[in-house]
Amino acid sequence: MTLTQLGDSPSTRDPSRLCALPAAELSRRIARGDVTARAVVDAHLDRINEVNPTVNAVTAVLGESALAEAARIDSAVAQGQPLGPLAGVPFTIKENIDVAGQPTTDGVAAFRDRVAAVDAPAVAQLRAAGAIPLARTNMPDLGMRWHTDSGLFGATRNPWNAALSAAGSSGGEAVALATGMSPLGIGNDYGGSIRLPSAAAGTVGLRPTAGRVASASSTNPFPPPPTLQLFAVDGPMGRRVEDVRLAYELMCGPDSRDPKWVPAPVRQQVPDPIRVAVATDPGADGVHPDIALAVRRAADALADAGAIVEEADPPQVLGAAELWRTLTTAELQGALDHVIRPLGSADASTYLEQSMAHVARLDLAGYVDGLAKRHAIAAAWSDFYAGYDLVLGPVATQPVHAVGFDLGGPDNADALWHSHRLVVTVNLLGLPALVVPVGLDRSHLPQGVQLIADRFRESTCLHAGLLVERALGSITPIDPT
């Protein structure tokens, strides 16, 4: 397999190479007047035209409005007016996050004309920082698969290997970033939907603490059920840790539409040295040897940078993952009959049916007891963090699954959930977690790891991610194979 990394070009100042640059570098060049916002937007529009027919990650291009905004920013630069920290930088947005004047489809044909009146909070905050909405990105119907295949837009292709899943549900966003169609994006994460696609694509993604980034929708009039309130967050995605850090800090502002938003300080002091618990095989229930090697590679990078690194398994991972599954299933049972089957694709219904097949059904008493158990597990993790600042572990304990694997029956659905046990533990507990790439495996496919901190300690995740990135490098953007 031959991969062409766009960033390898010696002529990255050439506008044709602008789509290879990090978002932070683009913002610096625009502010200095080295390049225009128009040239940056044009370069990414050209890249979408070039690459998207192959990978199907972008679902709608906002070219006209993006160019108009770029002209406004170029005028501000020429006149010496103050600029936002992301002025002129294009960004992409997942299909279930509101962009004013655009449909919020959730990947569902029935919602193709459901136009948002106003931006979602994270979109509004990046726009206020000068960033330019460029395009929408693909997702499975209503986010209900660990594979990005939409009944409205079709499947997104993994740019590293078309036989493998791009994962989900923010798979379109991760692939757009990986292939240089976007330098920055917004996804969301209820069961790994930022982190799993980021690992599969070789990009960076941050799942913030629950309550950290405000979230609201003008297109969905229904209040979110309890597990969505507790487990789901919007978060930044990119190719470099610096870009994700910058976007994250800008996305953390208040929004009166979200009563769950927490006014915690955005930047926290990072311990020195960082104490890292390495969980190569979380829950001690099996890990692929290539995945274990990737975690150890990141552990070595942190140790070389001065971190205190120890093998230590965080508490109750298997029980936490099982609890996430039973609680979400309790709520999704009703959604299957009243939302997914009537509105979603046949594959979305099949996946959800298979994923629930071996899950114990909870009555009201069981649901209440499950929420109480969540508190006990959270207390155990809080106690664990008294001795460590960070947990380093795999994203999934098995390599990226093949296209179609998730529709192969209940046993396959069980295998995916089991592989994702550390991912969904983070969701259950509302913790922050950063996925950062650590190189390629023996099959020349990207590998990523999770850096998980205690609540509202994103600064520790991001600092450690920078250390790993400096040691092991970045592997995107790429041309799809």
Report the catalytic residues. 94, 169, 193
| Separation of alpha carbons 4 and 32, rounded Å | 29
The residue type found at 96 is N
What's the burial of 257, exposed, middle or buried (CB within 10 Å: 0-12/13-18/19+)?
middle
Buried b (16+ CB within 10 A) or exposed e, 88-127: bbbbbbbbbbbbbebbbbbbbeebeebebebbbbbbbbbb
Alpha-carbon gap, residue 379 to 481, rounded angstroms:
46
- Answer yes or no: are the C-beta atoms of 445 and 400 closer than 8 Å: yes
Give the span between the Cα atoms of 247 and 85, in whole angstroms: 9
Angle between helices 317-335 and 421-429 (to 10 degrees): 80
Distance in angstroms (rounded) separating the CA atoms of residues 165 and 157: 7
Angle, alpha carbons 191-182-211 (nearest 5°):
35
Report whether 121 contacts 98 (CB < 8 A).
no
The C-alpha torsion from 340 through 345 and 346 to 351, rounded to 10°, is -60
Among 268, 275, 279, 269, residue whose Cα is nearest residue 303: 275
Pick from 447, 461, 25, 430: which is nearest to 229 by CA? 430
Element containing residue 448 per DSSP (H, E): strand 446-452
How many other C-beta atoms can be found within 10 angstroms of the C-beta atom of residue 162?
A: 14
List residues bridging with 184 in a β-sheet: 238
DSSP string across 330-371: HHHHHHIIIIIHHHS-HHHHHHHHHHHTTSPPP-HHHHHHHH
